[in-house]
Chains A and B, each alone.
Chain A
Amino acid sequence: MPHFAVSAVGVDRPGIVSAVTGALVNQGCNLEDTSMSILRGHFAMMLLVAGPDGLGAEALEAALAHTAGDFDLVLAVRQIDDSVPVPLQGETWTVSVYGADQPGIVHRVTELLAAAGANVIDLTTRVIGEADRPLYAMLLDVTLPPGTESADLRGRLDVLAVDLGVDCSMHPADADVL
């Protein structure tokens, strides 16, 4: 069964999800993992879908073109690997970073995390606050490789936060099985 990554972005308005998923259902596709959210007034969709055998990415994109046109969506379809990669094991931590907006916050924080072997599993950023004093907020969940000294990592993040002029904190986010 072929799998596709379908992405679509357009100015938010009611009916986008219904229209795009309706067109996918008409092509025999089944939605699997998806993420959809409003980003700066634009509705952004990232859908991983399974399609019927024989369906190709170009044909699926063509079949969605009418809906994309109706809603002024920038839409793209790519075929992806059928297999599901095994997630990395380790402790999950949540990292919060916020401060005056400036280019490079995400890059420098994730560069530090990557150097520690941390794997980002979820990341959201928002520009909030007044237009003349924008505040940047980033929340990310990371998996730390076994044996990571979280206190060391926290120390390095604190040093970077001072350099960037932002506030940064991290706390364990492992779930308890009840």
Chain B
Amino acid sequence: MAIRPVLALPAPVLKQVAQPVGRIDDAARALAADLVDTMRASPACVGLAAPQIGVPLRAFAMDITGHKKAVSCHGEVVLFDPEVLLAHGPDVGREGCMSVPDFTGDVTRATRIVIRGFDADGRDRVIQADAFEARAVQHELDHLDGLLFLDRVSSPHSVFRRKTYR
């Protein structure tokens, strides 16, 4: 239950493939709370993956409530060991990341995605997301595989120096 520092490049944990969480125990629930607290601490942040706070485990938090590009919205979501069941419909959008300061890039993502994982109570959960929520899910899933949006940019010309958020 703490706001943790968000790691930025070149932190090695951001480039590692994260390990499965497995059993959802008190440690996993504490990780869930930290992810949510840290995500909430930055108003512009709509998602945060465990490696971004230095934990090499397959877990992320997301909440796109109120975002102008949102279509589907599942509110606050924390998912452990998520896997993709279905993804289709490519679309290009510009992304930034708290772990990659000063840059944004155009990234192609699926516009509809179905994922499954476990929630903080250890229950199996299936989420069908589209539009902006689908993009957020894919961005967070990439973090679990050591991938940053810089690994996905559609062309070198599409990486722009961004304005300062916060």
Give me the interface of A with B, judged by CB distance under 8 Å. Answer: 37, 87, 89, 92, 121-122, 124, 141, 143, 173-178
Given A178-B47, A178-B140, 12 additional A-B pairs, CB 8 A: A37-B157, A89-B163, A122-B160, A175-B96, A175-B160, A175-B162, A176-B67, A176-B135, A177-B98, A177-B165, A178-B96, A178-B136
A124 to B97, CA, bound (A): 25
Q: What are 22 A-B contacts defined by CB distance under 8 Å?
A: A37-B157, A87-B163, A89-B163, A92-B160, A92-B163, A122-B160, A141-B160, A174-B94, A175-B94, A175-B104, A175-B162, A176-B46, A176-B93, A176-B95, A176-B96, A176-B132, A176-B135, A177-B96, A177-B97, A177-B98, A178-B45, A178-B96
A176 in contact with B161 (CB, 8 Å): no
Which residues of chain B are within 8 angstroms of A141 by Cβ–Cβ distance? 160
Please report the number of residue pairs spanning A and B whose Cβ atoms sit closer than 8 angstroms: 50
**B131-166: which residues lie under 8 A (CB-CB) from chain A?**
132, 135-136, 139-140, 149, 157, 160-163, 165
Interface majority SS on B: helix, strand, loop or mixed?
Answer: mixed
**Nearest Cβ on chain A to B14's Cβ, whole angstroms:** 14
B95 in contact with A175 (CB, 8 Å): yes
Would you call B44 an interface residue if the criterion is a C-beta within 8 Å of the partner chain's C-beta atoms? yes
A173 to B42, CA, bound (A): 21
Count B interface residues, CB 8 Å. Answer: 27
Which residues of chain A are within 8 angstroms of B93 by Cβ–Cβ distance? 176
**Residue of B at shortest CB range from A176?**
B95
**Residue of A at shortest CB range from B162?**
A175
Which residues of chain B are within 8 angstroms of A92 by Cβ–Cβ distance? 160, 163
A143 to B160, CA, bound (A): 12
**Nearest Cβ on chain A to B137's Cβ, whole angstroms:** 9
**B92-120: which residues lie under 8 A (CB-CB) from chain A?**
93-98, 104-105
**Nearest Cβ on chain A to B92's Cβ, whole angstroms:** 11
**Residue of B at shortest CB range from A37?**
B157
A112 to B78, CA, bound (A): 47
A178 in contact with B97 (CB, 8 Å): yes
A174 to B162, CA, bound (A): 9
Which residues of chain B are within 8 angstroms of A176 by Cβ–Cβ distance? 46, 67, 69, 93-96, 132, 135-136
A157 to B104, CA, bound (A): 26
Which residues of chain B are within 8 angstroms of A124 by Cβ–Cβ distance? 157
